[in-house]
Amino acid sequence: MGVLVGKKAPLFEADAVVNGTEFVEKFSLEQYIGKKYVVFFFYPLDFTFVCPTEIVAFQDRLSDFEERNCAVVGCSVDSKFSHWAWLNTPLNKGGIQGVKFPLVSDLSKTISENYDVLAGHYEFDVEDEAAYFEGQPVAYRGLFLIDKQGLVRHQVINDMPLGRSVDEAIRILDALQYFEEFGEVCPANWHKGEKALKPTQDGVSEYLGNK
């Protein structure tokens, strides 16, 4: 699995559904550069079991991300029409109605490939002169925190049965913003409002109080 931390987030233009109902062509993360942080996450497929729990959990905490000037964007290999149908299906019928953040359609699977979360790869059989896909042509549960300069600052990849923690995504976002503001590093299990560390000239870190 490739490491994108410290590198520019791969950009793209793709179909998306925003605000739960609106089709957008050529949706791009470029619109956020210089303006917002982005939590960009992949999930395997619409109309599945773990995926709606994650997506609804992100929606439930969307205001917490917005307060931190951070956009949330989801992506899977489904079509925009599948996204739209799922977004307009009630929760009690397996849908995600009420979700407002963008869902990107990676029907070509190129976005998943560029972020190196595609659960498989293409092979070419020279003898048969045919290409085939080895593995599953869907995305792992990848999550990328992208800063306002378009750099990936954090990534986590889960296998398909393993749901992610929205609380942890917010904690990491808080840590990044704290570091950017104060230049102090955040120790293990740090949460907003707790003491951080400041390296000293002799190499010893000292705890600092709340800012």
d(CA 179, CA 12): 29
Residue 139, beta-bridge partner list: 118
The rounded Cα 180 to chain-centroid distance in angstroms is 20
What is the CB-side half-sphere exposure of residue 109 using CA atoms within 13 A? 14
167: which residues sit within 8 A by CB, 6+ positions away? Answer: none
d(CA 38, CA 26): 17
* Residues forming the active site: 51
